[in-house]
Amino acid sequence: MPSTDTERDLKRVRVDTAFFLAADPRMPDFRHGLFLAPMVRIGTLPSRLLALEYGADLVWGPEIVDRAIMGTERQVNRTTGEIEFLKENKQIFSCHPVERPRLIFQVGSSSPENAAEAVRIVTAHDDVAGVDLNCGCPKPFSTLGGMGANLLSDPDLLCEILTHMRRAAPPHVSVTAKIRLLPTQEATRALVEQIVRTRTIRALTIHCRTKNMRPREPALLDRFSEIAAHVAMVAKETGQDIPVVCNGDCFSARDVGMIRERTGATSLMLARGPEANPSCFGRRVCAATEIAPKWLQYAVYFDNPFGNTKYCMTQLAFTTTGGAGDAEKVSPLPKRELVARRAALSQAKTHEEIAHALRLSWPAEGAEQLLAHVQTTIQQQTPA
């Protein structure tokens, strides 16, 4: 948070690229860590707070399309502290001051002007530490508008969007991009080189799959180190320092050693692991039955949209998606009980019914203590 008038003024000043790239201690640290990946629907406030509790170093919000955040009204809940961006009473995005130093807002865009406007909206009150451009989503809702993975085949537009985002963001807010591999190493090297030469990004995430690969196909981790080395070379040549984050098939902290060895990456981003169980960031993966009560407590405290709570808790508690097997292995419940709870959960129409379906205590209280714990953890880890 800005503490002096000078800092407050600086936030509003648009300065040149050299200033943007100067080390700013308020910038998030992308160099070493385990990060919660952007996930549509899954990456809402309760998921992010749980990921932080269990050891995620940075958390990405779900992709929000530029036009969705444009025209929203920012509202602060004086009781819970939650910040909501609302349009026609519908929550488009929400966040909390506790996560602010670790929160990256991901935008979906195919328009430099709209991307810039989205960045201005989410950074106007210093609610996020960084903004990220989604250049990797292959789902039709993203690519149809020319966004997501379609940007990979229009690098000039991709780079123009990043330039507009950098100009729109205050100097202490990082700009990053998340891409997929292109079919060949040569094409991928050319793409990352063009991105690095824009002098706009603070870090680059590489999802080690190509646009046409399905999530169940093994990530092409062996292609990572050459691309990361190329980023490092071009960055050095242009006087920059750009960490490259590796994403794909890291399901828990237990996979980290193997993936680091295979890729040379110091930072890893996880998606399906924490989708099934956010405690995957920690040394000890808890049973999903230990996570579910906390998810519900946050959901009730923040009045999380019910459909989102139900969706996330269904993914979290009793399914294993894409091999996020740790959650299942440590589940203490017999299979028949799991099936019964899943069935009851699918019928639930209120937060209270979710509690009954999953045999959780009701009222679901305790979110304030959870929040205080996250705050203490972040404060202890943040250099003075």
Interaction of residue 137 with ligand FMN, rule CB under 6 A: yes
* Residue 90: DSSP 8-state: E
At 329, the amino acid letter reads K
Binding range to ligand FMN, per CB under 6 A, among 2-10, 111-119, 132-140, 228-236: 132-140
- Measured CA to CA, the distance from residue 201 to residue 215 in angstroms comes to 26
Q: Is 209 helix (H, G, I), strand (E, B) or coil?
A: strand
Binding mask 255-294 for ligand FMN (x = CB under 6 A): ---------------xxxx-x-------------------
**Alpha-carbon distance 266 to 200, whole Å?**
21
Cα(20)–Cα(217) distance, integer angstroms: 38
- Using the rule CB under 6 A, which residue among 28, 33, 62, 101 binds ligand FMN? 62
| Identity of the residue, 35 or 301, whose beta carbon is nearer to ligand FMN in the bound complex | 35
Judged by CB under 6 A, the stretch of 3-11, 35-43, 163-171, 279-287 that binds ligand FMN is 35-43
The DSSP call for residue 178 is: E
What span, in angstroms and rounded, lies between the C-alpha atoms of 169 and 163? Answer: 10
Stretch that binds ligand FMN, among 21-29, 119-127, 129-137, 190-198 (CB under 6 A): 129-137
- Does the footprint of ligand FMN cover residue 207 (CB under 6 A)? yes
Nearer to ligand FMN, 98 or 151 (CB): 151
> What φ, ψ does residue 288 adopt, rounded to 5°?
-60, -25
**Of the candidates 29, 57, 63, 193, which one interacts with ligand FMN according to CB under 6 A?**
63
Shortest reach from residue 346's CB to ligand FMN, in Å: 18
Backbone angles phi and psi of 166, in degrees to 5: -65, -40
Residue whose CB is less far from ligand FMN, 170 or 309: 309
Burial tier of 10 (Cβ tally within 10 Å: 0-12, 13-18, 19+): middle
CB of 271 to ligand FMN, least distance (A): 3
Residue (122 or 355) nearer to ligand FMN, CB: 122
Count of chain residues binding ligand FMN (CB under 6 A): 24
Binding mask 165-194 for ligand FMN (x = CB under 6 A): -------------x----------------
Of the residues 37, 151, 161, 313, which one makes contact with ligand FMN according to CB under 6 A: 37
Catalytically annotated residue among 137, 246, 250, 312: 137
221 is a contact residue toward ligand FMN (CB under 6 A) = no
Burial of 70 (0-12, 13-18, 19+ CB in 10 A): middle
CA–chain centroid gap for 193, Å, is: 24
Q: Is 308 in the site for ligand FMN (CB under 6 A)?
A: no
Is 137 one of the catalytic residues? yes
User: Would you say 62 and 39 are in contact if contact means Cβ atoms under 8 Å apart?
Assistant: yes
H or E segment and range at residue 20: helix 17-21
What single string gives the DSSP state of each residue in 285-350? Answer: PPPHHHHHHHHHHHHHHTT--HHHHHHHHHHHHH---TT-THHHHT--S-HHHHHHHHHHHHH--S
220 binds ligand FMN (CB under 6 A): no
- Which residues are annotated as catalytic? 137
Q: Which residues bind ligand FMN (CB under 6 A)?
A: 37-40, 42, 62-63, 106, 134, 136-137, 178, 207, 215, 219, 247-250, 270-273, 275
